[in-house]
Protein backbone atom coordinates (compact mmCIF):
# COMPACT_ATOMS: atom_id res chain seq x y z
CA UNK A 1 0.00 0.00 0.00
CA UNK A 2 1.18 3.50 -0.67
CA UNK A 3 -0.23 4.90 2.61
CA UNK A 4 1.38 4.12 5.96
CA UNK A 5 -1.90 3.10 7.66
CA UNK A 6 -3.07 -0.41 6.82
CA UNK A 7 -6.61 -1.77 7.11
CA UNK A 8 -6.91 -4.06 10.13
CA UNK A 9 -7.92 -7.73 10.10
CA UNK A 10 -11.26 -7.14 11.78
CA UNK A 11 -14.60 -7.25 9.93
CA UNK A 12 -16.12 -4.98 12.58
CA UNK A 13 -13.73 -2.29 11.27
CA UNK A 14 -15.00 -2.63 7.69
CA UNK A 15 -16.16 0.98 7.34
CA UNK A 16 -12.95 2.46 8.76
CA UNK A 17 -10.86 0.09 6.63
CA UNK A 18 -12.77 1.11 3.51
CA UNK A 19 -12.09 4.78 4.24
CA UNK A 20 -8.34 4.06 4.43
CA UNK A 21 -8.39 2.33 1.04
CA UNK A 22 -10.60 4.91 -0.63
CA UNK A 23 -8.09 7.59 0.39
CA UNK A 24 -5.25 5.69 -1.34
CA UNK A 25 -5.21 6.52 -5.09
CA UNK A 26 -2.47 3.97 -5.90
CA UNK A 27 -4.41 1.15 -4.33
CA UNK A 28 -7.64 2.18 -6.03
CA UNK A 29 -5.93 2.28 -9.42
CA UNK A 30 -4.35 -1.15 -8.82
CA UNK A 31 -7.69 -2.73 -7.94
CA UNK A 32 -9.62 -1.13 -10.77
CA UNK A 33 -6.97 -2.20 -13.32
CA UNK A 34 -6.77 -5.75 -11.96
CA UNK A 35 -10.55 -6.22 -11.87
CA UNK A 36 -10.95 -4.92 -15.44
CA UNK A 37 -8.21 -7.31 -16.58
CA UNK A 38 -9.81 -10.32 -14.88
CA UNK A 39 -13.31 -9.46 -16.12
CA UNK A 40 -12.07 -9.17 -19.72
CA UNK A 41 -10.24 -12.51 -19.49
CA UNK A 42 -13.30 -14.26 -18.12
CA UNK A 43 -15.58 -12.71 -20.76
CA UNK A 44 -13.26 -14.00 -23.50
CA UNK A 45 -13.69 -17.54 -22.14
CA UNK A 46 -17.48 -17.34 -22.17
CA UNK A 47 -18.27 -15.65 -25.51
CA UNK A 48 -21.58 -17.46 -25.80
CA UNK A 49 -24.15 -16.72 -23.06
CA UNK A 50 -26.17 -19.85 -23.81
CA UNK A 51 -23.03 -22.02 -23.56
CA UNK A 52 -22.16 -20.48 -20.21
CA UNK A 53 -25.72 -20.99 -18.96
CA UNK A 54 -25.61 -24.70 -19.94
CA UNK A 55 -22.24 -25.31 -18.28
CA UNK A 56 -23.34 -23.38 -15.23
CA UNK A 57 -26.51 -25.46 -14.88
CA UNK A 58 -24.33 -28.56 -14.95
CA UNK A 59 -21.95 -27.18 -12.32
CA UNK A 60 -24.84 -26.08 -10.13
CA UNK A 61 -26.45 -29.51 -10.39
CA UNK A 62 -23.21 -31.26 -9.44
CA UNK A 63 -22.76 -29.06 -6.39
CA UNK A 64 -26.39 -29.31 -5.31
CA UNK A 65 -26.31 -33.08 -5.74
CA UNK A 66 -23.18 -33.26 -3.58
CA UNK A 67 -24.72 -31.10 -0.85
CA UNK A 68 -27.99 -33.03 -0.91
CA UNK A 69 -26.01 -36.20 -0.12
CA UNK A 70 -23.28 -34.59 1.97
CA UNK A 71 -23.34 -36.87 5.05
CA UNK A 72 -23.35 -39.99 2.91
CA UNK A 73 -20.63 -38.70 0.57
CA UNK A 74 -18.39 -37.74 3.48
CA UNK A 75 -18.68 -41.26 4.89
CA UNK A 76 -17.82 -42.76 1.51
CA UNK A 77 -14.97 -40.32 1.09
CA UNK A 78 -13.48 -41.24 4.45
CA UNK A 79 -13.81 -44.99 3.76
CA UNK A 80 -12.16 -44.74 0.33
CA UNK A 81 -9.39 -42.38 1.45
CA UNK A 82 -8.59 -44.69 4.34
CA UNK A 83 -8.57 -47.71 2.03
CA UNK A 84 -6.11 -45.78 -0.18
CA UNK A 85 -3.81 -45.19 2.78
CA UNK A 86 -4.69 -41.53 3.40
CA UNK A 87 -5.29 -40.53 7.05
CA UNK A 88 -8.51 -38.59 7.57
CA UNK A 89 -8.95 -36.12 10.46
CA UNK A 90 -12.09 -34.17 11.35
CA UNK A 91 -11.75 -30.66 12.79
CA UNK A 92 -14.75 -28.90 14.26
CA UNK A 93 -12.99 -25.54 14.37
CA UNK A 94 -9.69 -23.77 13.73
CA UNK A 95 -8.28 -24.81 17.10
CA UNK A 96 -8.88 -28.50 16.34
CA UNK A 97 -7.30 -28.20 12.89
CA UNK A 98 -4.18 -26.49 14.25
CA UNK A 99 -3.87 -29.09 16.99
CA UNK A 100 -3.87 -31.84 14.36
CA UNK A 101 -1.22 -30.03 12.30
CA UNK A 102 0.95 -29.64 15.35
CA UNK A 103 0.63 -33.25 16.48
CA UNK A 104 1.76 -34.46 13.02
CA UNK A 105 4.66 -31.99 13.04
CA UNK A 106 5.71 -33.10 16.54
CA UNK A 107 5.58 -36.77 15.57
CA UNK A 108 7.96 -36.07 12.68
CA UNK A 109 10.09 -33.68 14.76
CA UNK A 110 9.52 -31.07 12.08
CA UNK A 111 10.25 -27.41 12.73
CA UNK A 112 9.21 -26.22 9.28
CA UNK A 113 6.44 -26.78 6.74
CA UNK A 114 6.20 -25.58 3.14
CA UNK A 115 2.70 -24.61 2.09
CA UNK A 116 0.94 -24.29 -1.25
CA UNK A 117 -1.95 -21.87 -1.62
CA UNK A 118 -4.82 -22.65 0.73
CA UNK A 119 -7.51 -20.24 1.84
CA UNK A 120 -8.62 -22.69 4.54
CA UNK A 121 -5.14 -22.48 6.06
CA UNK A 122 -5.67 -18.70 6.16
CA UNK A 123 -9.05 -19.28 7.77
CA UNK A 124 -7.45 -21.22 10.64
CA UNK A 125 -4.45 -18.82 10.80
CA UNK A 126 -2.13 -21.76 10.39
CA UNK A 127 1.07 -19.73 9.93
CA UNK A 128 0.59 -17.77 13.15
CA UNK A 129 -0.54 -20.73 15.25
CA UNK A 130 2.40 -22.85 14.06
CA UNK A 131 4.85 -20.00 14.67
CA UNK A 132 3.58 -19.73 18.26
CA UNK A 133 4.36 -23.43 18.68
CA UNK A 134 7.84 -23.10 17.16
CA UNK A 135 7.04 -24.48 13.69
CA UNK A 136 7.77 -22.21 10.74
CA UNK A 137 5.20 -22.40 7.94
CA UNK A 138 6.57 -20.97 4.68
CA UNK A 139 4.26 -19.89 1.86
CA UNK A 140 5.33 -21.13 -1.58
CA UNK A 141 2.64 -19.56 -3.76
CA UNK A 142 4.44 -16.49 -5.14
CA UNK A 143 1.73 -14.03 -4.11
CA UNK A 144 1.40 -15.52 -0.64
CA UNK A 145 5.20 -15.61 -0.27
CA UNK A 146 5.42 -11.88 -1.04
CA UNK A 147 2.74 -11.17 1.56
CA UNK A 148 4.40 -13.34 4.17
CA UNK A 149 7.71 -11.54 3.68
CA UNK A 150 5.90 -8.21 4.14
CA UNK A 151 3.76 -9.42 7.07
CA UNK A 152 0.65 -8.59 5.05
CA UNK A 153 -2.67 -10.35 4.29
CA UNK A 154 -4.25 -11.61 1.06
CA UNK A 155 -6.69 -9.23 -0.58
CA UNK A 156 -8.10 -11.65 -3.17
CA UNK A 157 -8.74 -15.39 -2.95
CA UNK A 158 -7.10 -16.16 -6.31
CA UNK A 159 -4.56 -13.35 -6.59
CA UNK A 160 -3.62 -12.69 -2.99
CA UNK A 161 -1.02 -9.97 -3.62
CA UNK A 162 -3.08 -8.05 -6.16
CA UNK A 163 -2.72 -4.89 -4.04
CA UNK A 164 1.08 -4.90 -4.38
CA UNK A 165 2.81 -3.00 -7.17
CA UNK A 166 5.99 -4.32 -8.79
CA UNK A 167 7.89 -1.58 -6.97
CA UNK A 168 6.49 -2.92 -3.68
CA UNK A 169 7.67 -6.44 -4.56
CA UNK A 170 11.11 -5.18 -5.62
CA UNK A 171 11.51 -3.45 -2.26
CA UNK A 172 10.24 -6.43 -0.25
CA UNK A 173 12.59 -8.90 -1.99
CA UNK A 174 15.60 -6.61 -1.71
CA UNK A 175 14.90 -6.04 2.01
CA UNK A 176 13.91 -9.58 3.03
CA UNK A 177 15.73 -12.10 0.82
CA UNK A 178 19.43 -12.54 1.50
CA UNK A 179 21.52 -11.32 -1.42
CA UNK A 180 18.53 -10.27 -3.59
CA UNK A 181 19.25 -7.15 -5.67
CA UNK A 182 16.66 -4.40 -6.13
CA UNK A 183 15.04 -4.90 -9.51
CA UNK A 184 11.70 -3.95 -11.00
CA UNK A 185 12.02 -6.51 -13.78
CA UNK A 186 9.09 -8.87 -13.23
CA UNK A 187 10.81 -11.96 -14.68
CA UNK A 188 13.87 -11.32 -12.55
CA UNK A 189 11.68 -10.94 -9.45
CA UNK A 190 9.92 -14.25 -10.16
CA UNK A 191 13.32 -15.94 -10.61
CA UNK A 192 14.54 -14.57 -7.27
CA UNK A 193 11.45 -15.83 -5.48
CA UNK A 194 11.61 -19.24 -7.16
CA UNK A 195 15.24 -19.78 -6.26
CA UNK A 196 14.63 -18.91 -2.61
CA UNK A 197 11.68 -21.31 -2.44
CA UNK A 198 13.28 -24.20 -4.34
CA UNK A 199 15.93 -24.62 -1.67
CA UNK A 200 13.21 -24.84 0.98
CA UNK A 201 11.27 -27.64 -0.76
CA UNK A 202 14.41 -29.79 -0.73
CA UNK A 203 15.08 -29.37 2.98
CA UNK A 204 11.57 -29.58 4.49
CA UNK A 205 9.82 -32.72 5.73
CA UNK A 206 6.20 -31.55 5.68
CA UNK A 207 4.28 -30.08 2.75
CA UNK A 208 0.84 -28.48 3.20
CA UNK A 209 -1.81 -27.82 0.56
CA UNK A 210 -5.45 -26.93 0.16
CA UNK A 211 -7.85 -28.98 -1.96
CA UNK A 212 -10.22 -27.83 -4.70
CA UNK A 213 -12.35 -30.96 -4.93
CA UNK A 214 -12.61 -34.19 -2.95
CA UNK A 215 -13.85 -37.23 -4.87
CA UNK A 216 -15.86 -39.63 -2.71
CA UNK A 217 -16.01 -42.48 -5.22
CA UNK A 218 -12.24 -42.78 -5.71
CA UNK A 219 -10.95 -41.31 -2.44
CA UNK A 220 -8.97 -38.59 -4.25
CA UNK A 221 -7.84 -35.02 -3.57
CA UNK A 222 -7.92 -32.71 -6.60
CA UNK A 223 -5.71 -29.64 -6.59
CA UNK A 224 -5.80 -26.94 -9.30
CA UNK A 225 -2.85 -24.53 -9.69
CA UNK A 226 -0.59 -22.66 -12.08
CA UNK A 227 2.79 -22.25 -10.44
CA UNK A 228 3.83 -25.83 -9.74
CA UNK A 229 4.41 -25.06 -6.08
CA UNK A 230 1.31 -27.10 -5.24
CA UNK A 231 2.83 -30.15 -6.92
CA UNK A 232 6.18 -29.51 -5.22
CA UNK A 233 4.53 -29.15 -1.78
CA UNK A 234 2.60 -32.38 -2.26
CA UNK A 235 5.35 -34.55 -3.75
CA UNK A 236 8.79 -33.47 -2.52
CA UNK A 237 8.39 -33.54 1.31
CA UNK A 238 7.97 -36.91 3.06
CA UNK A 239 4.64 -35.93 4.58
CA UNK A 240 1.73 -34.17 2.88
CA UNK A 241 -1.04 -32.58 4.95
CA UNK A 242 -4.06 -31.31 3.00
CA UNK A 243 -6.63 -29.11 4.69
CA UNK A 244 -10.02 -28.11 3.32
CA UNK A 245 -13.65 -27.40 4.13
CA UNK A 246 -15.91 -30.45 4.34
CA UNK A 247 -18.23 -29.04 1.65
CA UNK A 248 -15.65 -29.61 -1.12
CA UNK A 249 -16.71 -33.21 -1.74
CA UNK A 250 -18.28 -34.37 -5.03
CA UNK A 251 -19.52 -37.85 -5.76
CA UNK A 252 -17.61 -38.92 -8.88
CA UNK A 253 -14.40 -38.06 -10.70
CA UNK A 254 -16.45 -37.14 -13.79
CA UNK A 255 -18.23 -34.50 -11.69
CA UNK A 256 -14.94 -32.63 -11.42
CA UNK A 257 -14.85 -32.03 -15.18
CA UNK A 258 -17.53 -29.29 -15.46
CA UNK A 259 -16.44 -27.74 -12.16
CA UNK A 260 -12.84 -27.56 -13.36
CA UNK A 261 -13.95 -25.93 -16.63
CA UNK A 262 -16.04 -23.38 -14.72
CA UNK A 263 -13.37 -22.72 -12.10
CA UNK A 264 -10.43 -21.96 -14.38
CA UNK A 265 -12.47 -19.86 -16.82
CA UNK A 266 -14.19 -17.88 -14.07
CA UNK A 267 -11.11 -17.40 -11.90
CA UNK A 268 -8.26 -16.48 -14.23
CA UNK A 269 -9.85 -16.65 -17.67
CA UNK A 270 -7.91 -19.80 -18.58
CA UNK A 271 -9.38 -22.77 -20.45
CA UNK A 272 -7.17 -25.00 -18.27
CA UNK A 273 -4.61 -24.34 -15.57
CA UNK A 274 -0.99 -25.42 -15.90
CA UNK A 275 -1.35 -28.16 -13.26
CA UNK A 276 -4.22 -30.40 -12.23
CA UNK A 277 -3.06 -32.70 -9.43
CA UNK A 278 -5.07 -35.79 -8.47
CA UNK A 279 -3.72 -37.40 -5.31
CA UNK A 280 -5.16 -40.79 -4.39
CA UNK A 281 -2.55 -42.34 -2.09
CA UNK A 282 0.88 -41.89 -0.53
CA UNK A 283 3.90 -43.13 -2.49
CA UNK A 284 3.45 -46.79 -3.43
CA UNK A 285 6.27 -49.29 -3.48
CA UNK A 286 8.24 -48.95 -6.70
CA UNK A 287 7.24 -45.30 -7.18
CA UNK A 288 10.15 -42.86 -7.32
CA UNK A 289 8.56 -39.85 -5.73
CA UNK A 290 5.62 -38.68 -3.69
CA UNK A 291 5.08 -38.38 0.07
CA UNK A 292 5.30 -41.46 2.30
CA UNK A 293 2.41 -40.21 4.43
CA UNK A 294 -0.70 -38.25 3.38
CA UNK A 295 -3.22 -36.65 5.76
CA UNK A 296 -6.48 -34.86 5.04
CA UNK A 297 -7.98 -32.47 7.61
CA UNK A 298 -11.67 -31.81 7.00
CA UNK A 299 -12.76 -28.56 8.61
CA UNK A 300 -16.29 -27.66 9.69
CA UNK A 301 -15.86 -24.22 11.34
CA UNK A 302 -19.49 -23.10 10.92
CA UNK A 303 -20.22 -24.89 7.65
CA UNK A 304 -22.74 -27.30 9.16
CA UNK A 305 -24.60 -24.31 10.58
CA UNK A 306 -25.00 -22.95 7.03
CA UNK A 307 -25.88 -26.47 5.86
CA UNK A 308 -28.76 -26.84 8.31
CA UNK A 309 -30.65 -23.87 6.84
CA UNK A 310 -32.04 -24.75 3.40
CA UNK A 311 -31.50 -21.31 1.90
CA UNK A 312 -28.07 -20.65 3.43
CA UNK A 313 -26.95 -24.09 2.26
CA UNK A 314 -26.42 -22.68 -1.26
CA UNK A 315 -23.43 -20.78 0.17
CA UNK A 316 -21.60 -24.12 0.34
CA UNK A 317 -21.88 -24.62 -3.43
CA UNK A 318 -18.98 -22.16 -3.83
CA UNK A 319 -15.90 -23.36 -5.74
CA UNK A 320 -13.83 -20.28 -4.73
CA UNK A 321 -13.29 -18.88 -8.21
CA UNK A 322 -13.36 -15.23 -7.12
CA UNK A 323 -15.51 -14.09 -10.08
CA UNK A 324 -18.09 -12.49 -7.78
CA UNK A 325 -15.31 -10.36 -6.29
CA UNK A 326 -13.95 -9.30 -9.67
CA UNK A 327 -17.39 -8.12 -10.79
CA UNK A 328 -18.47 -6.44 -7.55
CA UNK A 329 -18.44 -2.61 -7.81
CA UNK A 330 -17.95 -2.33 -4.04
CA UNK A 331 -15.01 -4.78 -3.92
CA UNK A 332 -13.37 -3.03 -6.90
CA UNK A 333 -13.35 0.23 -4.92
CA UNK A 334 -12.65 -0.80 -1.34
CA UNK A 335 -10.40 -3.81 -2.14
CA UNK A 336 -10.09 -7.07 -0.28
CA UNK A 337 -8.23 -5.85 2.81
CA UNK A 338 -11.14 -3.63 3.86
CA UNK A 339 -13.33 -6.61 4.69
CA UNK A 340 -10.93 -7.74 7.44
CA UNK A 341 -11.81 -11.39 6.77
CA UNK A 342 -10.22 -14.39 5.05
CA UNK A 343 -12.80 -14.33 2.24
CA UNK A 344 -13.52 -10.79 1.01
CA UNK A 345 -16.11 -9.48 -1.47
CA UNK A 346 -19.54 -11.03 -2.05
CA UNK A 347 -18.45 -14.58 -1.22
CA UNK A 348 -16.95 -13.30 2.03
CA UNK A 349 -20.13 -11.42 2.84
CA UNK A 350 -22.18 -14.62 2.60
CA UNK A 351 -19.73 -17.16 4.09
CA UNK A 352 -18.02 -15.20 6.89
CA UNK A 353 -21.19 -14.70 8.99
CA UNK A 354 -21.30 -18.50 9.28
CA UNK A 355 -17.60 -18.78 10.15
CA UNK A 356 -17.35 -15.82 12.54
CA UNK A 357 -20.95 -15.05 13.51
CA UNK A 358 -23.00 -11.97 12.64
CA UNK A 359 -21.92 -9.88 15.63
CA UNK A 360 -18.62 -8.93 13.99
CA UNK A 361 -19.59 -9.39 10.32
CA UNK A 362 -22.97 -7.65 10.18
CA UNK A 363 -21.67 -4.79 7.99
CA UNK A 364 -20.40 -7.12 5.28
CA UNK A 365 -23.78 -8.07 3.73
CA UNK A 366 -24.55 -4.34 3.52
CA UNK A 367 -21.41 -3.75 1.42
CA UNK A 368 -23.32 -4.35 -1.79
CA UNK A 369 -25.37 -2.24 -4.18
CA UNK A 370 -27.44 -5.39 -4.93
CA UNK A 371 -26.75 -4.79 -8.62
CA UNK A 372 -26.81 -8.57 -9.06
CA UNK A 373 -23.50 -8.87 -10.97
CA UNK A 374 -22.13 -11.38 -8.44
CA UNK A 375 -25.11 -13.69 -8.87
CA UNK A 376 -24.95 -13.41 -12.66
CA UNK A 377 -21.31 -14.46 -12.96
CA UNK A 378 -21.27 -17.10 -10.22
CA UNK A 379 -20.43 -20.29 -12.12
CA UNK A 380 -22.41 -22.53 -9.79
CA UNK A 381 -25.54 -20.37 -9.60
CA UNK A 382 -25.36 -19.21 -5.99
CA UNK A 383 -28.14 -16.60 -5.48
CA UNK A 384 -25.71 -14.21 -3.79
CA UNK A 385 -27.99 -11.11 -3.71
CA UNK A 386 -30.79 -13.16 -2.08
CA UNK A 387 -28.39 -14.47 0.54
CA UNK A 388 -27.11 -10.95 1.22
CA UNK A 389 -30.69 -9.80 1.82
CA UNK A 390 -31.39 -12.73 4.08
CA UNK A 391 -28.25 -12.04 6.12
CA UNK A 392 -29.18 -8.36 6.43
CA UNK A 393 -32.54 -9.50 7.73
CA UNK A 394 -30.92 -11.97 10.13
CA UNK A 395 -28.61 -9.26 11.47
CA UNK A 396 -31.54 -7.03 12.37
CA UNK A 397 -34.04 -9.57 13.66
CA UNK A 398 -34.04 -12.21 16.30
CA UNK A 399 -36.09 -15.37 16.21
CA UNK A 400 -38.97 -15.89 15.53
CA UNK A 401 -38.81 -13.47 12.53
CA UNK A 402 -35.91 -15.43 11.07
CA UNK A 403 -36.67 -18.98 12.11
CA UNK A 404 -34.31 -21.47 13.71
CA UNK A 405 -31.65 -22.68 13.38
CA UNK A 406 -30.39 -19.33 14.54
CA UNK A 407 -27.25 -17.91 13.03
CA UNK A 408 -24.47 -17.14 15.50
CA UNK A 409 -24.89 -13.44 16.35
CA UNK A 410 -28.37 -13.24 14.81
CA UNK A 411 -30.02 -9.91 15.63
CA UNK A 412 -26.66 -8.29 16.44
CA UNK A 413 -27.46 -5.21 14.35
CA UNK A 414 -30.81 -4.63 16.04
CA UNK A 415 -31.03 -1.38 18.04
CA UNK A 416 -33.87 -0.34 20.33
CA UNK A 417 -34.21 3.03 18.57
CA UNK A 418 -34.48 1.43 15.15
CA UNK A 419 -36.91 -1.24 16.34
CA UNK A 420 -39.14 1.48 17.86
CA UNK A 421 -38.95 3.55 14.68
CA UNK A 422 -40.12 0.60 12.56
CA UNK A 423 -42.89 -0.20 15.03
CA UNK A 424 -44.06 3.42 14.81
CA UNK A 425 -43.89 3.29 11.03
CA UNK A 426 -46.02 0.15 10.98
CA UNK A 427 -48.56 1.78 13.29
CA UNK A 428 -48.85 4.85 11.05
CA UNK A 429 -49.35 2.86 7.89
CA UNK A 430 -51.91 0.57 9.53
CA UNK A 431 -54.17 3.44 10.64
CA UNK A 432 -55.30 5.93 7.98
CA UNK A 433 -56.38 8.69 10.37
CA UNK A 434 -53.11 8.49 12.26
CA UNK A 435 -51.15 8.61 9.01
CA UNK A 436 -53.07 11.69 7.78
CA UNK A 437 -52.45 13.45 11.08
CA UNK A 438 -48.73 12.61 10.87
CA UNK A 439 -48.57 13.78 7.22
CA UNK A 440 -50.13 17.10 8.24
CA UNK A 441 -47.93 17.71 11.29
CA UNK A 442 -44.56 16.46 10.06
CA UNK A 443 -43.93 19.02 7.24
CA UNK A 444 -44.79 21.79 9.65
CA UNK A 445 -42.03 20.62 11.99
CA UNK A 446 -39.39 20.35 9.24
CA UNK A 447 -37.49 23.28 10.76
CA UNK A 448 -36.52 20.94 13.60
CA UNK A 449 -34.74 18.48 11.24
CA UNK A 450 -31.29 17.79 12.74
CA UNK A 451 -28.36 18.96 10.61
CA UNK A 452 -26.35 15.83 11.52
CA UNK A 453 -27.99 12.50 10.73
CA UNK A 454 -25.57 9.70 11.76
CA UNK A 455 -23.46 8.40 8.86
CA UNK A 456 -25.75 9.91 6.20
CA UNK A 457 -24.55 13.49 6.58
CA UNK A 458 -20.87 12.53 6.57
CA UNK A 459 -20.89 12.83 2.79
CA UNK A 460 -24.40 14.06 1.96
CA UNK A 461 -26.81 16.93 2.68
CA UNK A 462 -29.27 16.28 5.54
CA UNK A 463 -32.59 14.65 4.66
CA UNK A 464 -35.50 17.09 5.12
CA UNK A 465 -39.21 16.61 4.73
CA UNK A 466 -40.88 18.38 1.82
CA UNK A 467 -42.77 21.57 2.82
CA UNK A 468 -46.04 19.91 1.75
CA UNK A 469 -47.13 16.30 1.75
CA UNK A 470 -47.80 14.56 -1.57
CA UNK A 471 -51.52 14.54 -0.76
CA UNK A 472 -51.47 18.33 -0.23
CA UNK A 473 -49.49 18.87 -3.42
CA UNK A 474 -52.00 16.85 -5.44
CA UNK A 475 -54.93 18.65 -3.86
CA UNK A 476 -53.38 22.01 -4.75
CA UNK A 477 -52.67 20.91 -8.28
CA UNK A 478 -56.26 19.76 -8.74
CA UNK A 479 -57.57 23.12 -7.58
CA UNK A 480 -54.95 24.97 -9.64
CA UNK A 481 -53.54 26.50 -6.47
CA UNK A 482 -49.90 25.63 -7.16
CA UNK A 483 -48.80 24.91 -10.72
CA UNK A 484 -45.14 24.45 -9.72
CA UNK A 485 -45.95 21.37 -7.65
Binding site for ligand SF4 (CB under 6 A): 266, 318-324, 347, 377-380, 382, 384
Which lies closer to ligand SF4 via its Cβ, residue 232 or residue 259?
259
CB of 59 to ligand SF4, least distance (A): 9
Least distance between ligand SF4 and beta carbon 28 (Å):
22
Q: Which is nearer to ligand SF4, 256 or 378 (CB)?
A: 378
CA 452 to chain CA centroid, nearest Å: 35
Q: Residue 234 CB, nearest distance to ligand SF4 (Å)?
A: 23
Minimum CB separation of residue 63 from ligand SF4 in Å reads 9
Q: 276 - beta bridge partners?
A: 224
Give the Cα separation of 299 and 316 in Å (integer).
13
List all residues 6 or more positions away from 243 whose beta carbon is below 8 Å from its beta carbon.
97, 101, 118, 120, 121, 124, 126, 208, 209, 210, 211, 296, 297, 299
Please identify, using beta-carbon distances, which residue of 237 and 322 lies nearer to ligand SF4: 322
Q: Supply the minimum distance, in Å, between the C-beta of residue 172 and ligand SF4.
A: 28
Q: Which is nearer to ligand SF4, 232 or 373 (CB)?
A: 373
Q: Residue 189 or residue 380: which is nearer to ligand SF4 going by CB?
A: 380
239 vs 78, 191, 210, 269, CA distance in Å?
19, 27, 14, 33
DSSP 462: P
Alpha-carbon Rg for the chain, nearest whole angstrom, is 26
Please state the closest distance from residue 248 (CB atom) to ligand SF4, in A: 12
CB of 355 to ligand SF4, least distance (A): 14
Residue closer to ligand SF4 (CB basis): 237 or 383: 383
Instruction: Give me the least distance between CB of 417 and ligand SF4, in Å please.
Output: 34
- CB 71 → ligand SF4: shortest distance, Å? 22
Q: Are 207 and 118 in contact (CB under 8 A)?
A: no
**Strand 249-250 and strand 213-215: pairing?**
parallel
Shortest CB 380 distance to ligand SF4, Å: 5
Nearer to ligand SF4, 293 or 352 (CB): 352
Nearer to ligand SF4, 215 or 351 (CB): 351
Between the alpha carbon of residue 9 and those of residues 13, 17, 249, 279, the distances in Å are 8, 9, 29, 34
Distance (Å, rounded) from C-alpha 192 to C-alpha 208? 22
The distance between the two most distant Cα atoms of the chain, rounded to a whole number of Å, is 98
Minimum CB distance to ligand SF4 smaller for 27 or for 324: 324
Residue 277: in which H helix or E strand, if any?
strand 275-279
Nearer to ligand SF4 (CB atom), residue 21 or residue 382: 382
Give dist(CA 118, CA 92) in Å, integer: 18
* Helix H or strand E segment including 294: strand 293-299
CB 208 within 8 A of CB 243: yes
Q: Which positions ≥6 away from 315 have C-beta within 8 Å?
A: 306, 350, 351, 354, 382, 387
Distance of closest approach, residue 241 Cβ to ligand SF4, in angstroms = 24
Q: Which is nearer to ligand SF4, 129 or 255 (CB)?
A: 255
Smallest distance, ligand SF4 to C-beta of residue 122, A: 15
**123, 93 Cβ separation under 8 angstroms:** no
Neighbouring residues of 12: CB distance < 8 A, sequence distance ≥ 6: 340, 360, 361, 363
In three-state secondary structure terms, 35 is helix
Q: Which C-beta is closer to ligand SF4: that of 91 or that of 384?
A: 384
Burial class (CB in 10 A: 0-12, 13-18, 19+), 470: exposed
CA–CA dist 124, 210 (Å, integer): 12
Pairing between β-strand 213-215 and β-strand 86-91 as defined by DSSP bridges: unpaired
Amino acid sequence: MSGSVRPVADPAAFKDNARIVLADPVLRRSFRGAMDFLMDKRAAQFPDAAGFARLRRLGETVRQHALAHLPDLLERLEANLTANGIHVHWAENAEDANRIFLSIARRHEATRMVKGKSMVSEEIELNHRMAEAGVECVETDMGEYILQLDDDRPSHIIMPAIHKTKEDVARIFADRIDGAPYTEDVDALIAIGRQALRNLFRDTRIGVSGVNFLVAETGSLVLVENEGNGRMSTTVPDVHIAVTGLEKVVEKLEHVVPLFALLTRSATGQAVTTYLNVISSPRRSGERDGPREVHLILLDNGRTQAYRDERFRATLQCIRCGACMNHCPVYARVGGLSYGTTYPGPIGAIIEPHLLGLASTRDLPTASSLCGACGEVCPVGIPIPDLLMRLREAARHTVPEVPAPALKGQGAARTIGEALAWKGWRLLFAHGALYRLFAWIAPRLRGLTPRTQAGWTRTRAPLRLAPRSLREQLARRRTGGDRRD
